Amino acid sequence: GESVGLHLPTLSVQEGDNSIINCAYSNSASDYFIWYKQESGKGPQFIIDIRSNMDKRQGQRVTVLLNKTVKHLSLQIAATQPGDSAVYFCAEIGGSNYKLTFGKGTLLTVNP
């Protein structure tokens, strides 16, 4: 069945380092993959998305990579800052019903 999951539940990095958060998916029919950031007690915020016909997309300090061969998605955060500490979710949407499905999340902790 459809599933979106994450390899690592927690990630701890030093301020200034680069962070990589990974995600595996199983639905080959998904059209878009999206990364969200959720701070404690708040709703998720959109970070970046990538269409299924792309391999890489860059934003401000973030890069999303899509490897359709192994059904793997990653979010790279450059020069990680304390304000980046949050839970990060990957999500996918696609098929004819536009169902937006989330993975379980990775808690990113940035140490000063």
Q: Which of 105, 77, 80, 106 is nearest to 16 (CA)?
A: 80
Evaluate whether 22 touches 7 at the Cβ level (below 8 Å). yes
Distance CA 1, CA 62 (A): 30
Distance CA 90, CA 30 (A): 13
Q: Closer to other proteins at the Cβ: 62 or 93? A: 93
Q: Diameter of the chain by CA atoms?
A: 45
Q: Does 98 bind other proteins (CB under 8 A)?
A: yes
Q: Does 57 bind other proteins (CB under 8 A)?
A: no
Q: Closer to other proteins at the Cβ: 41 or 112? A: 41
DSSP 84: G
Q: Closer to other proteins at the Cβ: 40 or 69? A: 40
Question: Binding other proteins by CB under 8 A: which of 49, 54, 61, 63?
Answer: 49
How many residues sit in the footprint of other proteins (CB under 8 A)? 23
User: Segment near other proteins (CB under 8 A), from 19-27, 60-68, 75-83, 89-97?
Assistant: 89-97
DSSP 97: T
Contact residues toward other proteins (CB under 8 A) are 31-32, 34, 41-46, 49, 89, 91, 93-94, 97-105
